[in-house]
Amino acid sequence: MNKTVPETREFFKELVSLVKDATDVDIVVAPPFTSLYAAAESVKDTNIKIAAQDIFYEEKGAFTGEISPAMILDCGCSHVIIGHSERRQYFNETDEAVNKKVKAARSNGLGVIFCIGESLAERESGKTFDVLKREIEKGLENIAGDNIVVAYEPVWAIGTGRTAAPSQAQEAHAYIRDRLRVLYGNKAEENRIIYGGSVTPENVDSLMACEDVDGALVGGASLKVESFVRLVKFNTEAV
């Protein structure tokens, strides 16, 4: 929940020129609903895509405050984040609701950034893989794997300054890859698995050097253009 419309325009005015040469990565920015249209206008004909932070699973109707897939598309989005840990934690979003949202997004042609991850208590009690297995199986039930990006975001590392060590991230991502193979067979190799959890310019290189880490879901470090550009232009050779 950051950036007004004027702040969004200013952000992209600076960002666009600084990442125009970053042709070997996909850049997707997810502003709040109120700034989506302005963001999409700002990145037209650039290498930056826009995502919504959430979606509702009905097309229209008496659902006050909700945003439909058609509305998100109309704003110029190509992707949507679904199942973010904050949606699960603060708004009691269930695996079943996440599944409905993923289905609605995919049926409308939106790319999905599907978030999963365990809490600190679940990690400390050895339930990390159980949580990931449940969230993958229930969240992606009866959904084809095309245009699904899985974001592993350990809840204990969201906005806390704590980050999973590269070895912890790799272990979780490798497990997620195995679970996707169960669902999608060899096509699971095409699914990107990205890491989210206090990703910063200081740790991005080591995280991106992990075999099964295909990108990053960035929070606070994306709010300032300078730090976000550094993340876009990560350098695994520096590790």
Out of 118, 135, 153, 173, the active site residue is 153
Out of 84, 93, 122, 173, the active site residue is 84
- Look up residue 71 and give its amino acid: M
Decide if 212 contacts 178 (C-beta within 8 A): no
- What residues does 49 pair with on adjacent strands? 28
Pairing of strands 111-116, 79-82: parallel
Active site residue 79: no
- What residues does 79 pair with on adjacent strands? 51, 111
Judge residue 42's burial from the number of C-beta atoms within 10 Å of its C-beta, 0-12 exposed, 13-18 middle, 19 or more buried.
buried
CA 223 to chain centre: 15
Q: How far apart are CA 74 and CA 22, in angstroms?
A: 27
- What residues does 52 pair with on adjacent strands? 80
Active site residue 153: yes
| b/e sequence 204-227, b meaning 16+ C-beta within 10 Å | bbbbbbbebbbbbbbbebbeebeb
Q: Which residues are catalytic?
A: 84, 153
